[in-house]
Structure 1
Amino acid sequence: MAPVGIFLKKPRAAARKAAEIEQQRAEGLPVGSSAGALSDDRSEQLEDIDTSWCPTWPVEWQTAFHLTRQHLEAGGELPTEPGDVVHQGEDLGRWVKSVRFGFDKLTSVQQWMCEHILGITPAGEDEKPKPRTSQADKWALNYTAARQFYEREGHLRVPRKHVETVRSEEGPELQYRLGAWISNQRSRAATLSPERVEQLSNIGMRWTQHCAAPGSAGAGRPR
């Protein structure tokens, strides 16, 4: 017996053609031949079997949904990770995970189907991967820690192993290895942008033992 997805491939294509013809008629455009379009009687027969036989979302999504449903009805557990269950070439665990993490991108009908038929719930905020911090953002965060140190101590002579604690806007305290960061900025002074050099110089950065900033008169190479 052929899989349901293969059996429905031609009727779905015929249904799409019928929908295109109806759209052309509604817009008053010339309508070509209706050969190959799904008849109303055939469409009603398929609707009686499954109202979602020809979904507005991708057929691949619908196929994975039905395969997951079959797996559950056969007594299997809901796969949650890639590789948990592979059925008819479909990695159901990978699909379930993509549904959970992309739940807000589904239509309301898809969400209802996943929740009430398969028991899939959207991923919680604590499960979602945190957005990666860009290098520019990391530099800005460390600079904030350096400025806080300068405003408190009146200088930027930070011990090599010093860790600066900064309270973030969200509330939790964040720790920065400020001593190591300052040392790295000093060693990379020649490659820093003029803007960053100026920002650090404004809060007392000691670029060399003579305290000259890169690019200024008498500045030496960082040591």
Structure 2
Amino acid sequence: GGRPGHLGRGQLRLPRDAADIAALTRCRVIRPESLVWLEGYQALVRWRSQNGITGLYAVPYDTETAVGVTKDYPLGRWVHQQRRAQRTGELDPHRKELLDDAGMVWEPGDEAWENKLAAIRSYHRATGHLAPRQDAVWGEGEAMVPIGQHMANLRRKGGLGKDPQRAETRAAQLAEIDPDWNCSWPLDWQRHYKVLADLVDADGVLPTIDPGVLFEGDDIGRWLTRQREATNWTQLSAEQQERLTRLGIKPVDAPSPAPAAKVATQGQSKAQQAFQRGLAALAQWVEREGQRPVPRGHAEEISVDGETEPVVVKLGVWISNTKSRRGKLAAEQLDALRELGMEWARPVTIP
């Protein structure tokens, strides 16, 4: 039965359970080096089983596990050695076959992707969606990942990689976790909607939610009120409207002025036009980002009636300038700013 002492870890006991015996049989020839390799393979199979892991999975390099009399078998380093042996052509084909069956990740790019996918699965299990704020982070300690930035990058053109086949596979993996991962509307909208959908799913009916009711930092009540406003409702896609309708959310009856993002400019002074465009840009920011402060250098693109190209509004600068001259604004302008979360927009009493 070979020279177990060759392992340097004490007596190696041959496997007893059916899966390990089958693996041993598939190694075909039992030599001392086969036993050394089989010890690592058994450690991998058992570690995956103990952690409930199925499918492709990249074992972290610093992973250690108990196997036989060894309490801290360096499984992560062993897996790394197999990957290196495969690259240099030194890995026996039947061993590669065994490792393929055990969900081995061979390419570094695939390994990074699998690690990212594991974080995405974990986030979805905890929240029920893949629509984090862009600045959201997830995990603990060294395993902390910028989940918001990850999802924003993946949704961009080419975000799944240059290889079309690989991109298609990755898109399918993400869709399996959440079919709405790449929805055509902003993730901010999707996150608020999902919270309400979960409430309806739990209670069968949407409860009364007033502005000011928060869920993990999002003002769900304020968002719901804004969706019901006729001007905002008309800007939603047919599918967004349909989803809200299924939750029992309908637009309130109100006159329908021009949608906020479609700014009518006829008959307005240049100052009025500039204010309306700034307000439309701010509404667009709040819809996408929530009540997050607007960086001073940030610019928004909006659609304007009569313009074929989007208009760029220097939103951060506009907010700063508008705030400095709030004493000159009309009451309805101040009301519109407060409605979008600008608490500084309170009427100034001039003695």
Task: Identify the TM-score tier after normalising by the shorter chain.
Answer: 0.3 to 0.5
Query: Looking at CA atoms only, which structure, 1 or 2, has the larger radius of gyration?
Result: 1
| TM-score (structure 1 length as normaliser) | 0.42
| TM-score (structure 2 length as normaliser) | 0.28
Which structure would you say has the larger RCO, counting Cα contacts within 8 Å and 6 or more residues apart? 1
